[in-house]
Amino acid sequence: MAEYKNVEKPFLEKLRDLNWRIIDQGSFGIPQDPAKSLRASFKEVTLKQEFIKAVKKINIVDGVAWLTDKQLEDLYKETIATEKANLSLLEANKQVFEKLIGVTKTTVAKNEVTGEENPLVKLIDFKDWDSNEFVAINQFRIVTPGGPREGIIPDIVLFVNGLPFSVVECKDVDVADPISSAVDQIMRYANTREDDFGIKEGEERLFYYNLFSIATHGEEARVGSISGDFEYYLNWKDIFPEVYKNVDVLNYAAEETARYQNNGLHNDPRVRQEILIKGILNKEILLDILQHFTLFMEIKEGTEIKVVCRYQQYRAVGKILDRMRTQTSGKTRSGVVWHTQGSGKSLTMVFFVRKLRSQGDLKDYKVIMMVDRKDLEKQLSATARLTNEFKEANIVGSRKELVPKLSGNASNLNMVMVHKFVQEELKHSKALMKAFVEEGKVPEFKPFDVVNTSDRIVILIDEAHRTQGGDMGDNLFTAFPQATKIAFTGTPLLTDRHKQKTHERFGGTGEFIDTYKIREAVDDRATLDIIYIGKTTNDKIKDKEAFDAEFEDVFKKQSKEEKEYIQKNYGTMQAYLENMDRLRKIAKNLVKHYVDDILPNGFKAMVVGSSIVAAARYQFLIDEALKERVVLEKGKEKPDVDLIKKIEFIKIGTVVTKQDNNEQAYISAVRKNAREIKAVDNFKKDFDYSTDEAGNYVKPETGVAFLCVCDKLLTGFDAPIAQVMYLDKSIREHDLLQAIARVNRTKKDKSHGILVDYYGVSNHLKDALNIWGAEDEEDIKELLEYFRDINKEIPVLEARYNRMLQLFTDKGITEFKKFAEQRMGDNKDAEFQLAEDCIELAASIPFRAQFDTYIKAFFDSLDLLFNSEAARKYYIPAKRFGYLLVRIKNRYKDTSMDLKWAKPKVRKMIDDHLETLGIDSRVAPISLLSKNFAKEVDKLGKNSKSKASEMEHAIRRHIKVNINKDPALYKRFMKRMEEIIERYQGNWDAIVEEFEKVRDDLAKGRQGENEEEGLDEQELPFYDFIIFSAFKDEEITEEEKEALKALTIELVNLLQDAINKPNFWGGRAAEIRKLQGEVEDLISFTNVDNVSKLHAKLSVEIMNLAKRRHQELTK
Same domain assignment for residues 368 and 467: yes
Residue 817 carries which side chain, given as an amino acid letter? K
Residues 441, 503: Cα–Cα separation, whole Å: 35
SS3 135: strand
* % of the chain with per-residue pLDDT over 90: 38
Distance of CA 490 to the CA centre of its chain: 22
Confidence (pLDDT) at 543: 47
Give residue 433's pLDDT band: very low, low, confident or very high (50, 70, 90).
very low
- β-strands 366-371, 704-709 pairing: unpaired
Helix (H, G, I), strand (E, B) or coil at 923: coil
Judge whether residue 936 has pLDDT over 90.
Answer: no
Is the pLDDT at 687 greater than 70, yes or no? yes
Question: Is the same domain home to 222 and 317?
Answer: no
The helix (run of H) or strand (run of E) holding residue 705 is: strand 704-709
pLDDT tens digits, residue range 824-846?
A: 888 888 888 888 889 888 888 77
Which band of pLDDT confidence, cut at 50, 70 and 90, is reported for residue 1007? low
Query: For residue 857, what are the CA distances in angstroms to 184, 848, 853, 922?
Result: 21, 14, 6, 21
Q: Does residue 183 contact residue 18 with C-beta atoms inside 8 Å? A: no
In a domain, 254, yes or no: yes
In 357-396, which residue ranges form alpha helices assigned H by DSSP? Answer: 374-384
The predicted-structure confidence for 218-270, as pLDDT tens digits, reads as follows 889 999 999 988 888 999 999 999 999 999 998 888 888 877 776 655 678 89
Q: Could you list the beta-strand ranges (E) of 910-962.
A: none
Rounded to an integer, what distance in angstroms lies between the CA atom of residue 127 and that of residue 284?
9
pLDDT, mean of residues 189-211: 83
Considering only 152-166, 399-413, 484-498, 736-750, which range has the smallest mean pLDDT?
484-498
C-alpha distances in Å from residue 164, one per residue of 121, 159, 167, 209, 1033 = 20, 4, 7, 6, 43
Average pLDDT rounded to a whole number, residues 519-539: 78
For residue 355, pLDDT beyond 80 = yes
Q: What pLDDT is attached to residue 40?
A: 94
Residue 942 maps to a domain: no
Domain closes at, from 893, 925, 957: 925
pLDDT digits (tens, 9 = 90+) for 41-72: 999 999 999 999 999 999 999 889 999 999 99
Question: Are 156 and 266 members of one domain?
Answer: yes
Flag whether 178 is in a domain: yes
Lowest mean pLDDT among 240-244, 253-257, 360-364, 874-878: 253-257
Task: Give dist(CA 1031, CA 784) in Å, integer.
Answer: 69
* DSSP string of 772-804, one letter each residue: TT--SHHHHHHHHTTEEEGGGHHHHHHHHHHHH
Cα within 13 Å of Cα(1011), Cβ side: 9
d(CA 1027, CA 1098): 11
Q: CA angle at residue 182 from 179 to 186, to 5 degrees?
A: 140
689-715 as b/e: b if 16+ CB within 10 A: eeeeeeeeeeeebbbbbbbbbbbbbbb
Tell me how far apart the alpha carbons of residues 815 and 837 are, in angstroms, rounded to a whole number: 11
Range with the largest mean pLDDT of 54-63, 576-585, 914-923, 1028-1037: 54-63
Q: Is the pLDDT of residue 550 over 50?
A: no
pLDDT higher at 911 or 1064 = 1064
How far is residue 178's CA from residue 897's CA, in Å, rounded to a whole number? 10
Say if residue 643's pLDDT is above 90: yes
Residue 816 shares a structural domain with residue 848: yes
What's the structural domain count of the chain? 5
Q: Are residues 505 and 644 in the same domain?
A: no
**Tell me, what's the pLDDT at 748?**
84
Q: Which domain holds residue 1025?
A: 1012-1115
What are residue 339's DSSP bridge partners? 516
For 117, the 3-state DSSP assignment is strand
Distance between first and last Cα of the chain: 35
Q: Are 334 and 506 in contact (CB under 8 A)?
A: yes
Please tell me the predicted confidence (pLDDT) of residue 940: 58
367: left (phi over 0), alpha (psi -120 to 50) or beta: beta
pLDDT at 972 over 80: no
**In whole angstroms, what is the distance from residue 1017 CA to residue 790 CA?**
66
Q: Does 1054 or 776 have the greater pLDDT score?
A: 1054
Mean of the per-residue pLDDT values for the chain? 82
pLDDT at res. 636: 92
**What's the count of helices (H) and strands (E) in the chain, helices before strands?**
47, 25
Q: What is the mean pLDDT of residues 27-37?
A: 87
Provide the 3-class DSSP secondary structure of residue 708: strand
d(Cα 953, Cα 959) in Å, to the nearest integer? 10
| pLDDT per residue as tens digits for the range 490-528 | 876 554 444 445 445 556 567 889 999 888 888 888 888
Q: What is the pLDDT of residue 538?
A: 45
pLDDT digits 0-9 by tens, 909-932: 666 665 565 544 444 455 555 556
Bond into 241 cis (ω within 30)? yes
What's the rounded Cα separation, in Å, for the pair 646 and 644?
5
Task: Find the mean pLDDT for residues 622-647.
Answer: 94
Look at residue 884 and tell me if it is in a domain. Answer: yes
Q: Residue 381: what residue type?
A: S
Residue 549 domain flag: no
What pLDDT, on the 0 to 100 scale, is given for residue 775?
A: 45
Which range has the top average pLDDT, 461-470, 1062-1071, 1090-1099?
A: 1090-1099
pTM of the model: 0.74
**pLDDT level of residue 583 (50, 70, 90 thresholds):** very high
Q: Is residue 557 part of a domain?
A: no
Write b or e for each residue in 127-148: b if 16 or more Cβ atoms lie within 10 A of its Cβ, otherwise e.
Answer: eebeebbbbbbbbbbbbbeeee
Element of type H or E holding 304: strand 303-308
Q: How far apart are CA 1004 and CA 484, in angstroms?
A: 79
Q: Tell me, rounded to whole angstroms, the distance of Cα 570 from its chain centroid.
A: 51
CATH assignment at residue 703: 3.40.50.300
The DSSP-derived string for 879-914 is HHHHHHHHHHHHHHT-TT--STTS-HHHHHHHHHHH
**Is the pLDDT assigned to residue 1013 strictly greater than 90?**
no
How many beta carbons lie within 10 A of that of residue 661, not counting itself?
A: 6
Distance of alpha carbon 325 from alpha carbon 356, whole angstroms: 11
Q: Is residue 219 part of a domain?
A: yes
Report the distance separating Cα 353 and Cα 149, nearest Å.
45
- C-alpha 964/C-alpha 975 separation (Å) is 16
d(CA 795, CA 781) in angstroms, rounded, equals 16
Has residue 561 been placed in a domain?
Answer: no
Residues 341 and 452 reside in one and the same domain: yes
Both 750 and 887 in a single domain? no
Determine the pLDDT at residue 922: 45
> What confidence category does residue 473 fall into, taking pLDDT thresholds of 50, 70 and 90?
low
Domain check: are 332 and 412 in the same one? yes
Which carries the bigger pLDDT value, residue 1087 or residue 980?
1087
Tell whether 268 and 323 lie within a shared domain. Answer: no
pLDDT, position 766: 59
The whole-number pLDDT of residue 18 equals 97
Q: CA–CA separation, 534 vs 459, rounded Å?
A: 41
* Spatial contact of 466 and 739, defined as CB atoms under 8 Å apart: no
For 16-20, 276-280, 983-987, 1007-1011, which range has the lowest pLDDT when averaged over its residues?
Answer: 1007-1011
Residue closest to 112 by CA, chosen among 51, 64, 153, 48: 64
> Do 284 and 317 reside in the same domain of the chain?
no
Pair 332, 255 in one domain: no
How many beta carbons lie within 10 A of that of residue 914, not counting itself? 20
pLDDT at position 490 = 80
Q: What pLDDT is recorded for position 657? A: 82
- Both 286 and 331 in one domain: the answer is no
Higher pLDDT, 148 or 94: 94
Instruction: Give the per-residue pLDDT at 1.
Output: 59
| Side chain identity, residue 15 | L
Report the relative pairing of strands 156-160 and 134-138 from DSSP bridges. antiparallel
Radius of gyration of the chain (CA): 34
Q: Looking at 226, 259, 292, which one is the last position of a domain?
A: 292
Dist CA 226 CA 208 (whole Å): 9
Decide which of 925, 940, 964 is a domain's last residue.
Answer: 925
What pLDDT, on a 0 to 100 scale, did the predictor assign at position 934? 61
Who's near 919: CB < 8 A, 6+ residues apart?
883, 886, 887
